């Protein structure tokens, strides 16, 4: 099974840049989308269904904001919308599909870049998400939590760790949370296969020609539970795919 996570930074924008054509060529079994920024009536379901995908979207109440989705070529046994916490579910941040004993989640962690209030919201979310993910893994031990985490974990994951030391997304408290998350029973699958390879990023600023110069951040992850480790086959990043300021992150599992 090939699973891809991709923050499309507006699904309609990505579609105008060839996203559907790329999806038809790439043909992942499951693709997790974040920042769809679309209400249900704005989503071209027929276009995706023509490519063989069943479509499950969880949109934010606020129009043009956030939103997650799972498109799958495999019929899920169950789809879970949200995490049961209203203030997060109103922002459309989590959707999960179950396939037998395997589950795939699309998750969009908040950004704290707009100011102190949203940074505080992000830190509260992180603690609540850790509890939620650990509890969920007790009942669904083979789960892949894929999405935009809005955190670079280590200096190797960001192009300029020194000058970004006080930037949201690379703050010491965010990186410490990521370490606790991984230590609590989860695997960063890209680093599982590429433990020390530098210069692999999944997001680039639109400013200063950052993408052309590969001055990026690795903030998108396909996380796995430790229990699912024997199923891991490969993980890699597709930096040349350009429908967004992010790029796809790929996980191959048994």
Residues classed as catalytic? 148
Joined together, the tokens standing for residue 232 give: 């891991």
Joined together, the tokens standing for residue 161 give: 């760790």
Could you tell me which residues are beta bridge partners of residue 108? Answer: 148
Joined together, the tokens standing for residue 53 give: 């995908």
Spatial CB neighbours of 195, under 8 Å, sequence gap ≥ 6: none
User: Which DSSP state fits 158?
Assistant: B
Q: Quick count: other Cβ atoms within 10 Å of Cβ 58?
A: 24
Phi, psi of 75 (to 5 degrees): -70, 120
Q: Which of 111, 128, 29 is nearest to 70 (CA)?
A: 29
Joined together, the tokens standing for residue 82 give: 């949200």
State how far the Cα of 34 lies from the Cα of 7, in Å rounded to an integer. Answer: 4
Joined together, the tokens standing for residue 194 give: 């590429």
């Amino acid at each position: 099974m090939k699973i891809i996570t991709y923050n499309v930074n507006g699904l309609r924008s990505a579609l105008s840049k060839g996203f559907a054509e790329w999806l038809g060529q790439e043909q992942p079994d499951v693709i997790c989308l974040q920042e769809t920024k679309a209400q249900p009536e704005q989503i071209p379901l027929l276009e995706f269904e023509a490519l063989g995908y069943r479509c499950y979207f969880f949109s934010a109440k606020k129009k043009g904001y956030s939103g997650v989705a799972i498109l799958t070529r495999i019929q899920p046994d169950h789809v879970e919308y949200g995490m049961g916490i209203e203030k997060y579910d109103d922002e459309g941040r989590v959707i999960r599909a179950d396939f037998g004993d395997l589950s795939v989640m699309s998750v969009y962690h908040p950004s704290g870049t707009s100011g102190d209030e949203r940074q505080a919201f992000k830190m509260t979310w992180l603690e609540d998400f850790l509890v939620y993910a650990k509890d969920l893994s007790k009942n669904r031990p083979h789960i892949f939590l894929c999405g935009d985490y809005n955190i670079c974990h280590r200096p190797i994951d960001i192009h300029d760790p020194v000058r970004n030391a006080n930037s949201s997304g690379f703050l010491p408290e965010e990186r410490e949370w990521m370490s606790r998350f991984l230590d609590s029973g989860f695997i960063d699958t890209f680093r599982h296969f590429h433990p020390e390879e530098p210069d692999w990023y999944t997001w680039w600023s639109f400013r200063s020609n950052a993408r052309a110069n590969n001055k990026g951040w690795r903030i998108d992850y396909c996380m796995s539970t430790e229990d699912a480790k024997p199923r891991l086959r490969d993980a890699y990043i597709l930096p040349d795919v350009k429908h967004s300021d992010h790029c796809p992150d790929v996980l191959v599992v048994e």
